[in-house]
A = this chain, B = another copy of it.
């Protein structure tokens, strides 16, 4: 049992943030600590081109605290990276030298290309993006990276960040139509330099990185329902974005913190929304997918997945399901058997014509099968409910909120109950009730076959005849417990899901 901890310190224009990532030898990683300070190192930079004395003092004090924190908490691997404000300031190198002296740690000033690459790594490692682009809207700058076959192909950066655009185009309490139009025209003119952009939009999707996109996604999500499992993977459609821009533009700057938008971001969110709108326009994307991960995760992935180049998970969904499964379970023997048997039973039922055999449903079922018991880490009683709680709260990068909700509910119903319509919020699609019930029924039967968690039953066969489903068990050993358990608990939900009585052959 060994843990490796890495602290990533991000010296951003607005805030300095330290995040500790822990990677465990059992195969999981997660964030385990985070501190930040709103330093505003970029204060006054626009006017003078230099970092000013007061922000420098705040910054050096914060860096000192962060360095103490790393020493005190025993984190020896520390990566400090600085972005646009420090990169752009005339006295940036001088500041970096002082920061290194104060902390005793090297400070790496990222080039535009390097910064864009970390955003790209975060986006591709937390979504299913294959082709399209990654957009990172910061305070000072905006980065766009073209993605083809999951590889970053071209990267551009423009000084179109939310703070900068607000100061230049929307400085007043009220934003006029004319001002917004001027901002749009400016962004459009800049983006024209990326000649590949329309092609990326035509055949790909856009992933948005950074707090502004997250807040806009959260605001769009809140208008629909409150019980969504976070904005990771959420699709913000062009229509919803247009609505948000209209609502934000009608309000004075101080009142733009709609539900989902943080108070400290209210004054710059309109500019960010207009920039985002213009990127969609220019490239022809119909939506943008939000991700929680960004620069700091990119730095972590380089460390965690390197020397692999590029440092990408082969399969983001599989990696994130496995990450949760190993976090909460010492051994995956039982859950992996449930994955295999559940897929086998589901396939057999599809072959027998008892359901459509939708591959997305199969993938969600397999994820739920690996995660169905993680709630045991909370308590044995109601562990199916705790599994739902853990999936919803820890999240599954690579899946959309709707898919995460379905996986969580499949795990929830692997043991007891029948999913009623009230469980299915507005995020679910037509047919999801039937998908959920089928998957839960399959999981429940398989869980009973594995009731003693011993792998006795190694294969299942299905024969649909005489209006019933006969379940054949292939086992090396006695199946007393499996048979008893299926007869006792597996049949009822199965009959409701597939309209057939289940008998064990």
Which A residues fall within an 8 A CB radius of B? 30-35, 37, 61, 64-65, 68-69, 72-74, 376-382, 386, 389-390, 393-394, 451-454, 456, 477-478, 480-481, 484-485, 488
Shortest C-beta distance, A380 to chain B (Å), equals 5
Q: Report 14 cross-chain contacts, Cβ distance below 8 Å, ordered by A residue.
A: A30-B380, A32-B380, A34-B380, A65-B484, A68-B452, A69-B452, A69-B481, A72-B452, A72-B453, A72-B454, A377-B377, A378-B378, A378-B389, A386-B393
- Which residues on B sit within 8 Å (CB–CB) of A64? 480
Closest to A73 in B: B452
- Which residues on B sit within 8 Å (CB–CB) of A378? 378, 389-390, 393-394
Q: What 4 additional pairs, Cβ within 8 angstroms, besides A68-B478, A72-B453, A73-B454?
A: A69-B452, A74-B454, A379-B393, A379-B394
Closest to A62 in B: B484
Closest to A32 in B: B380
Closest to A75 in B: B452
Q: Which of B34, B380, B386, B484 contacts A31 (CB 8 A)?
A: B380
How far is it, in angstroms, between the C-alpha of A382 and the C-alpha of B488 when the chains are bound?
A: 39
Contact A32–B68 (Cβ < 8 Å): no
- Which residues on B sit within 8 Å (CB–CB) of A481? 65, 68-69, 72
How far is it, in angstroms, between the C-alpha of A61 and the C-alpha of B69 when the chains are bound?
A: 61
How far is it, in angstroms, between the C-alpha of A10 and the C-alpha of B480 when the chains are bound?
A: 20
How far is it, in angstroms, between the C-alpha of A65 and the C-alpha of B35 when the chains are bound?
A: 53
Shortest C-beta distance, A396 to chain B (Å), equals 12
- Which residues on B sit within 8 Å (CB–CB) of A488? 37
Contact A65–B480 (Cβ < 8 Å): yes
Ranked nearest first, the 8 interchain pairs of A and B with the lowest CB-CB distance are A72-B452, A72-B454, A73-B452, A68-B480, A65-B484, A379-B394, A68-B481, A31-B380
Shortest C-beta distance, A455 to chain B (Å), equals 9
How far is it, in angstroms, between the C-alpha of A255 and the C-alpha of B377 when the chains are bound?
A: 37
Closest to A1 in B: B1
Closest to A376 in B: B32
Q: Which of B32, B379, B451 contacts A69 (CB 8 A)?
A: B451
Closest to A377 in B: B377
How far is it, in angstroms, between the C-alpha of A74 and the C-alpha of B452 when the chains are bound?
A: 9
- Which residues on B sit within 8 Å (CB–CB) of A33? 380
Contact B35–A451 (Cβ < 8 Å): yes
Q: Which of B31, B68, B376, B382 contacts A381 (CB 8 A)?
A: B31
How far is it, in angstroms, between the C-alpha of A33 and the C-alpha of B334 when the chains are bound?
A: 14
How far is it, in angstroms, between the C-alpha of A260 and the C-alpha of B16 when the chains are bound?
A: 51
Shortest C-beta distance, A371 to chain B (Å), equals 14
- Which residues on B sit within 8 Å (CB–CB) of A68? 452, 478, 480-481
Contact A30–B379 (Cβ < 8 Å): yes
- Which residues on B sit within 8 Å (CB–CB) of A377? 377
How far is it, in angstroms, between the C-alpha of A488 and the C-alpha of B35 when the chains are bound?
A: 11
How far is it, in angstroms, between the C-alpha of A192 and the C-alpha of B390 when the chains are bound?
A: 53
- Which residues on B sit within 8 Å (CB–CB) of A485? 35
The residue in A61, A73, A477 that gathers the most chain B C-beta atoms within 10 A of its C-beta is A73
Closest to A389 in B: B389
- Which residues on B sit within 8 Å (CB–CB) of A72? 452-454, 456, 477, 481
How far is it, in angstroms, between the C-alpha of A37 and the C-alpha of B73 when the chains are bound?
A: 51
Closest to A380 in B: B31
Shortest C-beta distance, A156 to chain B (Å), equals 32
Shortest C-beta distance, A378 to chain B (Å), equals 6
- Which residues on B sit within 8 Å (CB–CB) of A382? 393
Closest to A31 in B: B380
- Which residues on B sit within 8 Å (CB–CB) of A454? 72-74
- Which residues on B sit within 8 Å (CB–CB) of A386? 393
Shortest C-beta distance, A478 to chain B (Å), equals 6
Closest to A480 in B: B68
Closest to A375 in B: B393
Closest to A74 in B: B454
